[in-house]
Structure 1
Amino acid sequence: MKLAFITPYPPSQVTLNEYGYHLTRSFLGKNGIEKIYILTNNLEDNADYSRYATEGLEIIPCWNFDSWFTVLNLRKKLKELQPDAVILNLQFMTFGAGKIPAALGLLTPWMCKLLGIPSVTILHNITETVNLETIGMANSKLKGKLFLWIGEQLTKFILKSDLVGVTISQYVTILKDKYKAKNVILLPHGNFELPERNYVPEDSKEINLMAFGKFGTYKKAEVMIDAMEILQQKYPHLKFTSTVAGTDNPNVKGYIDGLKSKYAHLPNVEYTGYIPEEKVSQIFWDSSFVIFPYTTTTGSSGILHQAGSYGRACILPKIDDLERVVEEEGYGGAYFETDNAESLANAVSYLVENPEERKKIEDQNYKAAKGLPMSELAQWYLSHIHQLVAN
C-alpha cells in the first residue's frame, strides 16, 4: 500500500509540523506499507528537509503556505503519485495565514473524493468552539458571524473525507448534531515518543516557567512574565525565569519583538526563537513548569502531550475545552483564571510550596503520555484505511 500524508513537516514552521513528524514516522515498518509520501509545503530552501529525512519516508514539498493554488498543486501531485489512500493532518490555518488561501486549501478533502482516493482527515479544531476574535480572525461581531458561516461551509467540504477524526468528544457531538455527519469519530491525539525520564531537580533554587508555541493571538506570554515578577517578589531567595519558547503567530508578526521591548528591563526573560525538532527535548527538560498562557483554545493541545512525555507539571487556564481535554486524557495540573497574572502566580506558588503535589502531577502526566503511543494510533488508521480501500 502506498500512503500519502498531507501535513506540515519540520523544519517547516507551519502549525502541526511536529504532530506531522511524529505521526508519519509511526507508520514506518508497518505490515503492508510499500511507500510513504509526505506532501508538505515548500521552504526557501527545500534542501533543509534533508535534516529530517528518514529511510522509508519520501518528503515531497509541493505546495506553498499562503498560496491560492495549494489544492491544485496537491491534485496534480496526487494524480502523479496515485497513492492508495491519503491522510490529512489539518486545522483551519494549515494552508495559510491569509483567510482566502487558508480556506481554499481546506477544499483538499473534497478534491481527494473527486479523485476517488480514500482519505482520512484528522481535524484538530472546529470553528464552533473557537473564539475567532481572540485568534485574530475577526475583529467585530459582523465579521465573526461571516467567518463562522464560512467556517461552516468549509467544514462541509472537510466532511467529504471518507473518515474524519477529531480529538475532543465535544467535537464529535457538534459535527454529528449540526452537520448530520456519519463519518466522524473520536480519534485520540496519540502520544509522541517517550524520551528517557528526566526529573525536576530537588530543592532547586532556580525555577523556569516555560511557554511553548506560536504567540500573539490566543497564546500571549505577558501573563506568564507578569506572574514571574510577582513570584520573584514573593520568593526573593529563589531565581525565577520565563522562557518564551517559539515564534510569532503568522497573524501577529512582530509580537515577540514587542515583548522584548516591553520587558527589556527584566534580565530573566529568555526568547528562544524557532526551536528545531532536535532541541525540543532540552527546552522541556530545562523547564520547571509548562505554562499555558491561553485566552481560548483551538482543539486538543500537542503541548499538553509533550509536557506529559517529558514529565512536567502544567499550569493551565480555566477554559472549558482545555479542562475537558485534560480530564478526558488523564492529565493533570494547577489551574489559574484566564489572563490573570496573580492567579497564575498563586497556581505556581501552590506547587512550589507543595513539592509532593508537583511530583504527583508530573507522574500523572508521564503516565498519561504512555496511554496511546503513535505506533498504536498508526495501526488504528491502517485498519480503517484497509476497509476504505476494500470498499
Structure 2
Amino acid sequence: MKLAIVTAYPPSKVTLTEYGYHLVKHFRLQKEVTEIILITDKTKGEKDLNFEEKGCKVTVKECWNFNDYTNVFKVNKVIASTKPDAVLFNLQFLKFGDKKIPAALGLILPLLCKMKGIPTISLMHNIIEQVDLNNVGIISNKIFQKIYSGIGNLLTKLVLTSDVVAVTMGKYQTILENKYQSRNVALIPHGSFETPEEPDFTLPAGPKKILTFGKFGTYKKVEIMIEAIELIRRRTNQNLEIVIAGADSPNTPGYLESVKKKYAHVDQLCFTGYVEEETVPTIFEESAVVVFPYTSTTGSSGVLHQAGSYG
C-alpha cells in the first residue's frame, strides 16, 4: 500500500511537527505499507529521515506553507500526481495557518480526497467545542466567537466526511458522536511515542534544571514560571536553572525574544530554541522537574507524554 501522510515535519516549526515525525517513523515499519508519500510544509533545512530501523521508502513532497491561501490546491495536486492508496491527515484547527481563511481551506482537503474515492483518515488533535477561543489567542469578541464556532462546526462536518476520524481523547469521541451523529470516529489515545529504556533517575551534578517545553506565546506563557522560580530561589537558596525549550507559537512571533529582554536580569535562564528530535530525551532526562505553564489546553499534551516516557 502507498500511504500519503499530510503533516508538518521536522525541522518545521508548525504545530504537530513531532507527532508527524513519529507517525512516519512507525508507519514505515508496517509490512502493509510499501511507500510513504510525505506531503509536508516547506522548510529551509532537510527533512529528518535518519531512522535507525530499516523501513519502506519515504518520498518527500514539500508543497505547502503556513498561512498560504493556495495550500488546498498544492496538496490536492500532489495527491493527484502521486496516486496514493490512502491518505492520512495529521490535523488540528490551526494546522495550515492562524489566519482564518487558509486554516479553513486546509480542512476541506479530507472531503476532496473522499470525493475522489481515496480512502481517507483524519487524525484530529482538537475539536472546536473544546477550544477556549479567547484563551488560546484566536478571538476575544463574544459575537465573533459565536460566528467562529459556527464556522468551526461546519469545518468539523467536512472533516467527518473522512472514512475514519481518529481522536486522542475519549471526550472528543463522545462529543462528535452525540452532536454530529457520527459513527466513523475512532479513539486512539495519545500515549507515549516510544517505549524507551527505563530512565536513569539520578540528577546530573550542578544546578537543578526546571524545564518547560513547547511552542509559546498564546495560552503557553513562561512569565509566571520564571517569577515563581525566582520566589523559590529567594525562599530556599536552591541552585535552580530555568530551561525554556522550544520556539514561538506561529501565532506569536517574537514572543520569546521579548521574554529574554524582559528577564535579562534573571540568572541561569536558558532559552534552547528549537530542539532537534535526537536531543529530546537528553533535555528531559537532565531535568529535575517539568513545568506546564498553560492557561488553557487544546487537546492531549504530547509534551506531557514525553515527560512521562523519559521519567
TM-score with structure 2 length normalisation?
Answer: 0.94
**Preserved CA contact (<8 Å) 2:204 2:286:** no
Give the equivalent residue in structure 2 for 1:181: 182
**Preserved CA contact (<8 Å) 1:209 1:224:** no
Give the equivalent residue in structure 2 for 1:215: 216
Residue 225 in structure 1 maps to residue 223 in structure 2: no
Give the equivalent residue in structure 1 for 2:29: 29
Q: CA deviation at 1:198?
A: 3.3
Give the equivalent residue in structure 2 for 1:300: 300
Give the equivalent residue in structure 2 for 1:123: 124
Structure 1 residues 69 and 53: CA distance shift in structure 2, 3 A: farther
Give the equivalent residue in structure 2 for 1:249: 249
**Preserved CA contact (<8 Å) 1:39 1:60:** yes
* Matches of 2:117 and 2:50, distance apart in 1: 29
Give the equivalent residue in structure 1 for 2:201: 200
SS of alignment partner, residue 212 of structure 2:
strand
Code of the aligned partner of 2:148? F
**Preserved CA contact (<8 Å) 2:68 2:102:** yes
Q: CA deviation at 1:202?
A: 5.5
The within-5 A match list for 1:299-318 is: 299-311=299-311
SS of alignment partner, residue 305 of structure 1:
helix
Give the equivalent residue in structure 2 for 1:365: none
Give the equivalent residue in structure 1 for 2:168: 167
Structure 1 residues 202 and 267: CA distance shift in structure 2, 3 A: closer
* Matches of 2:35 and 2:206, distance apart in 1: 51
Q: CA deviation at 1:188?
A: 1.6
Give the equivalent residue in structure 2 for 1:105: 106
Give the equivalent residue in structure 1 for 2:49: 52
Give the equivalent residue in structure 2 for 1:71: 72
The within-5 A match list for 1:373-384 is: none
* Matches of 1:187 and 1:29, distance apart in 2: 19
Q: CA deviation at 1:205?
A: 6.3
Q: CA deviation at 1:71?
A: 1.4
SS of alignment partner, residue 149 of structure 1:
helix
Cα deviation, 1:49-74, whole Å, max 9, x if unaligned, reads 2x435562222112122111111111
SS of alignment partner, residue 271 of structure 1:
strand
Structure 1 residues 205 and 272: CA distance shift in structure 2, 3 A: closer
Give the equivalent residue in structure 2 for 1:6: 6
TM-score with structure 1 length normalisation?
Answer: 0.75
SS of alignment partner, residue 52 of structure 1:
coil
Q: CA deviation at 1:206?
A: 2.5
Give the equivalent residue in structure 2 for 1:285: 285
Q: CA deviation at 1:111?
A: 0.9
Cα deviation, 1:157-204, whole Å, max 9, x if unaligned, reads 111111001111111111111111111121121421233333332696
* Matches of 1:19 and 1:248, distance apart in 2: 18
SS of alignment partner, residue 214 of structure 1:
strand
Cα deviation, 1:126-146, whole Å, max 9, x if unaligned, reads 111111111111021112112
Give the equivalent residue in structure 2 for 1:387: none
* Matches of 1:196 and 1:203, distance apart in 2: 18
Cα deviation, 1:203-229, whole Å, max 9, x if unaligned, reads 966321111111011111112111111
Code of the aligned partner of 2:24? T
Structure 1 residues 205 and 63: CA distance shift in structure 2, 3 A: closer
Unaligned runs of 5+ in 1: 312-391
**Preserved CA contact (<8 Å) 2:124 2:165:** yes
Structure 1 residues 200 and 263: CA distance shift in structure 2, 3 A: farther
Code of the aligned partner of 2:273? G
**Preserved CA contact (<8 Å) 2:3 2:87:** yes
* Matches of 2:191 and 2:199, distance apart in 1: 21
Residue 267 in structure 1 maps to residue 230 in structure 2: no
**Preserved CA contact (<8 Å) 2:203 2:286:** no
* Matches of 1:153 and 1:292, distance apart in 2: 32
Q: CA deviation at 1:78?
A: 0.9
Structure 1 residue ranges (4+ consecutive) displaced by more than 4 angstroms after TM superposition: 202-205
* Matches of 2:239 and 2:16, distance apart in 1: 33
Unaligned runs of 5+ in 2: none
The within-5 A match list for 1:143-154 is: 143-154=144-155
Give the equivalent residue in structure 1 for 2:42: 42
**Preserved CA contact (<8 Å) 2:136 2:218:** yes
* Matches of 2:203 and 2:146, distance apart in 1: 51
Give the equivalent residue in structure 2 for 1:17: 17
* Matches of 2:248 and 2:203, distance apart in 1: 34
Q: CA deviation at 1:48?
A: 1.6
Number of residue equivalences: 307
**Preserved CA contact (<8 Å) 1:194 1:310:** no
Code of the aligned partner of 1:121? S
> Which structure has greater helix proportion?
1
Q: CA deviation at 1:259?
A: 0.9
